[in-house]
């Protein structure tokens, strides 16, 4: 069981079904979103859009999996947030000796001289939160920034 192996969660099928039912009763917006996507998927719609309207189109020969249709707008919004954060950090970062090294999924990797770590960390957090709040508000955006001595962790 993957839930047990990865997260230490053990549920019977009946418990899992009950949990899922309660989850969608509580989060009605998610239930509506899932219903809308499921309806489009069952009508062989092969297009998905992010909140900003960027679209993913599957070929006529490929029917997407339902999970792909449900996940794409979420992953796409995460990409939109990251792109906006990068645009916001560009100018403030140019006033430092810090360098943007790479972006992996929703992570922005910056290399900074030791003496600039605190202000660069604050800049990055401010830009990431601002970008996230543009999409997530009124839900607050949480950002975790780690400072390490090497890119590997």
Helix axes 28-42, 13-26, angle to 10 degrees: 110
| Ramachandran angles phi, psi of 54, nearest 5° | -60, 140
| Per-residue pLDDT tens digits for 50-100 | 988 889 999 988 889 999 999 999 999 999 999 999 999 999 999 999 999
For residue 133, the model assigns a pLDDT of 94
What pLDDT, on the 0 to 100 scale, is given for residue 1?
A: 66
Q: pTM value?
A: 0.80
Q: Which domains does the chain have, with CATH numbers?
A: 74-145 (3.30.70.370)
Helices 117-136, 66-94: inter-axial angle, 10-degree rounding? 140
The rounded percent of the chain whose pLDDT value lies above 70 is: 99
Gap between the Cα atoms of 93 and 123, Å rounded = 8
Residue 27 has pLDDT above 70, yes or no: yes
User: If phi over 0 gives left and psi between -120 and 50 gives alpha, with beta otherwise, what is residue 44?
Assistant: left
Q: What is the pLDDT of residues 100-146, one digit of tens each?
A: 999 988 899 999 999 999 999 999 999 999 999 998 889 899 999 99
Could you tell me the CA-to-CA distances from 33 to 22, 27, 28, 55, 95 in Å, in that order? 16, 10, 9, 16, 42
């Amino acid at each position: 069981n993957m839930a047990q192996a990865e997260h230490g969660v053990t549920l019977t099928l009946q418990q899992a079904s009950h949990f899922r039912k309660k989850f969608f009763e509580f989060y009605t917006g998610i239930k509506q979103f899932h219903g809308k996507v499921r309806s489009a998927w069952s009508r062989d719609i092969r297009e998905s859009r992010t909140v900003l309207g960027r679209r993913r189109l599957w070929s006529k020969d490929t029917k997407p999996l339902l999970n792909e249709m449900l996940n794409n707008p979420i992953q796409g919004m995460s990409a939109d947030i990251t792109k906006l954060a990068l645009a916001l950090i560009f100018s403030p970062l140019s006033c430092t000796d810090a360098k943007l090294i790479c972006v992996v999924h929703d992570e922005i990797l910056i290399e900074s001289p030791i003496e600039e770590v605190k202000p660069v960390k604050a800049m990055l957090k401010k830009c990431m939160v601002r970008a996230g709040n543009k999409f997530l508000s009124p839900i607050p955006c949480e950002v975790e920034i780690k400072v390490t001595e090497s890119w590997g962790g």
